[in-house]
Structure 1
Amino acid sequence: MTDSRRSSISSIKSDVKSDIESPELPLDQKHFGNTLDQKAQAQSKEQPSEETPSTIPNGGLVAWLQVLSGFMCFMSAWGMVNGFGVFQDFYSSTLIPDVSNSDISWIGSIQAFLLCSATVFAGPIYDHGHPRLLVMFGSVLVVFGMMMTSLCSEYWQLMLAQGLCVGFGAGCLFLPSIAIIPSYFTTKKAVAMGIAASGSSFGGVIFPIIFRRLEPRIGFGWATRAIGFISLTSLLIPCFCIKARAFPKTRRKLLDFAAFKEPAYALFSLASFVGFVGLYVPFFYISTYAKDVSGLEDTLSFYMLPIMSAGSIAGRIIPGLVADKVGALNVLGVCNLCASILGFCWIAIHHTAGGLIVWALLYGALSGAFVSLQPTTVASIT
């Protein structure tokens, strides 16, 4: 056999072998395969992978920026509710004295109701990947509502501006702040949520003091606008820094009641609903009660509300530290029981200023856990 014939046979064998190992596809099949690969890559980018403890950072600059963003959202959302007592006292004594205290309290009650109920509609928007849009929209409503409140002189105007507008905007701020933080933490989840939730107590301290100090000097309108400008400045941080790590792969409907089919979640939701009915009664009435019933001087009776909110700061953070060790539900149950007992003790201490101060601090601390531990508790029982 000649050398040329041997080389041709060898080349034929190598061609056959290469065809068997990597068969050549037609052009249309190649294009189809490439298209499928591109679609698969695009879908993998659109849908985040499943969250596991190993993929959650549990700290870092970005994670703690989310806590700071949540703190600012809580300050302008729940802080307005915590500090409503100073408006309650001013409205009943100066702005609209002909309206009863119970009617005036409906402004704060509607505000708190919308803060919680607006999350029903904000939830699906968050699931569709728009947490920053919610924060921006809520910021506009809260600031706009406070600016409009500064122009109000009638009861119905206050209800629309401070009750409805601020309340709905606060709900849009509230949901992203509690939904994002758990995706950044594992072992520090409860304490991170507690630090963020302490923003509401911080707002409950500074907003009444600001209003009290400014109103005699510059009037109701500009004192209220000052609070609005503080909210505007603080809410710029979450508007730029808030960033969700992952969204649910299955997007739910605007109104989806499937979660209530789970008994533990449904029972906890009912218990939370009942708890919120009476939670903020002391925050609304403590200043008026101290002045009209306990007979305390005007300055001391006013500071009862900031004192209660100051106690609530510790009540947001310390239970979170304990909850990471012994369980959020256990800590929440004990704090709620003690706060309920304190509610009945209120009537026994109305004649002593020292007793009322201690009671305000304790109730603020114990009731603070009711808000800060709820997201962590839901995650642990569902």
Structure 2
Amino acid sequence: MTQSRPLSTFSSASTDVDVFAPATLPRIGPFPLDKSSEPTVDPENGVVQKKVSMDSPPEGGLQGWLTVLGSFCITTAVYGLSNSVGVIQPYWAQYHLSSFAVQDIAWISGANIFLCLFLGVQVGPWFDRFGPRWLLMAGSLIYMAGLIGLGFLPEDSDVSTGPGIRAPGTLYGLLMLLWGIIMGSGAALCCTVALSVLAHWFEKKRGLAAGIVFVGSSVGGAVFPLVLRTTLPRMGWAWSMRILALIVASLLGMGNILIKGRIQGRHGAGAINFGCFRDASFVWTTVGCFSSGVGRLAAGAISDKIGRFNTMILTTIFSIVTTFAVWLLVETHRMWLLYLFAALFGFGTGCVISIGPICVGQ
């Protein structure tokens, strides 16, 4: 007994191909796709069509660009204040930590930057699992706790008082705790979320969105030093920190309101994925970042010996020479030069990052 068969050809001249057969449906990648991205068949003309995945970024929209604005506010507050260390660190050296060497004081801002960047390794999987809202809120509260705590420190130290809050050793520990550890940890949460959430809304325009967000770092780095140079001589340390806290709280509040996630968290995301080390690009980047950390530490010690601007000039020349002497010689059969370049160039740029704010402050 013959059975009716659904339309299976595109035209009378084409060969018989069953478009409903699973073998004819294209699959992309080794992983199964969700139903929203599976190919379908138009029942009227038998043409295979592919639906657009609902998980593809919408390339902006009102909420997408509001998220960019919120991330801009976050980087203005956090990265901008970190870039103001060129004004804050000399103040510490003159009033709070006058009995400490410059390289010892630099460990405070160094701890802040280190935690802000290093903790992103763990914050990234948390973002994938829980989304942006709670991480951003927690980071904002932690960051503000450290900044408000700075406003309760005394105006200067007094070596004659013995043990107490005005003792230089005590102030050093409090500054390391508040600025270095607490604010550094809060910065890691805030900035990792502010940058990662862009992938929810942009793919082709992600570079533009990230560029707008990073402009906030420059804006904050220009505005906060101007504020501090006005308030520190007139109002002192405590009220200057409270004014900064008010500005930063407003920016972080706007960021929390405007930033929205679009993709639900993946609860199966692991904390650490060692498979990334199989990617050569990741390994090269890791080598460069490690060398950058070494360069930041070395730059402080070198600048105390030969001067800050001399160190900046030499490390800039070192980076330029490394580019022409090593990078241009990299070829397929000499890949070891790529690792050498990553290490040397990372060291040179690390010195520039470490010494730059101090030169600006001087």
Partner of 1:246: 263
- Contact kept, 8 Å, 1:138 with 1:170, in 2: the verdict is yes
C-alpha deviation, 1:273, in angstroms: 3.4
- Contact kept, 8 Å, 2:76 with 2:219, in 1: the verdict is yes
C-alpha deviation, 1:83, in angstroms: 1.0
- Alignment coverage as a number of residue pairs: 259
Read off the aligned partner of 2:121 and give its amino acid letter: V
- In 2, Cα distance between equivalents of 1:338 and 1:143: 32
1:274 aligns with 2:291: yes
- In 2, Cα distance between equivalents of 1:152 and 1:145: 11
- Contact kept, 8 Å, 2:291 with 2:347, in 1: the verdict is no
TM-score by length of 2: 0.62
Partner of 1:69: 70
Q: Are residues 196 and 265 of structure 1, via their aligned partners in 2, closer, same or farther at CA, if it must alter by over 3 Å?
A: same
> Deviation string for 1:90-116 (max 9, x for gaps)?
011122211111111111000001101
Gaps of 5+ in 2: 1-33, 38-51, 155-170, 310-340
- In 2, Cα distance between equivalents of 1:338 and 1:114: 18
5 Å-filtered alignment, 1:183-222, equals 183-222=200-239
- In 2, Cα distance between equivalents of 1:175 and 1:71: 13
What's the secondary structure of 1:252's corresponding residue?
A: coil
Q: Are residues 48 and 129 of structure 1, via their aligned partners in 2, closer, same or farther at CA, if it must alter by over 3 Å?
A: farther
Partner of 1:109: 110
Partner of 1:5: none
Q: Are residues 109 and 117 of structure 1, via their aligned partners in 2, closer, same or farther at CA, if it must alter by over 3 Å?
A: same
C-alpha deviation, 1:49, in angstroms: 6.3
C-alpha deviation, 1:80, in angstroms: 2.2
C-alpha deviation, 1:121, in angstroms: 2.5
What's the secondary structure of 1:255's corresponding residue?
A: coil
C-alpha deviation, 1:152, in angstroms: 2.6
> Deviation string for 1:154-194 (max 9, x for gaps)?
11110001111100000000111111112312332112101
1:228 aligns with 2:229: no
C-alpha deviation, 1:281, in angstroms: 9.3
Read off the aligned partner of 2:88 and give its amino acid letter: F
C-alpha deviation, 1:279, in angstroms: 6.5
- In 1, Cα distance between equivalents of 2:187 and 2:298: 19
Q: Are residues 338 and 122 of structure 1, via their aligned partners in 2, closer, same or farther at CA, if it must alter by over 3 Å?
A: closer
Gaps of 5+ in 1: 1-46, 295-332, 348-355, 361-382
C-alpha deviation, 1:278, in angstroms: 4.2
Partner of 1:165: 182
1:87 aligns with 2:88: yes
- Contact kept, 8 Å, 2:58 with 2:201, in 1: the verdict is yes
Partner of 1:144: 145
Read off the aligned partner of 1:100 and give its amino acid letter: A
C-alpha deviation, 1:254, in angstroms: 2.7
**Structure with the higher helix share, 1 or 2:** 1
5 Å-filtered alignment, 1:13-32, equals none
> Deviation string for 1:111-165 (max 9, x for gaps)?
0011012222222221123311111111111111011112235111100011111
C-alpha deviation, 1:225, in angstroms: 1.3
What's the secondary structure of 2:197's corresponding residue?
A: helix
- In 2, Cα distance between equivalents of 1:48 and 1:201: 44
Structure number with bigger Rg: 1
Read off the aligned partner of 1:70 and give its amino acid letter: S
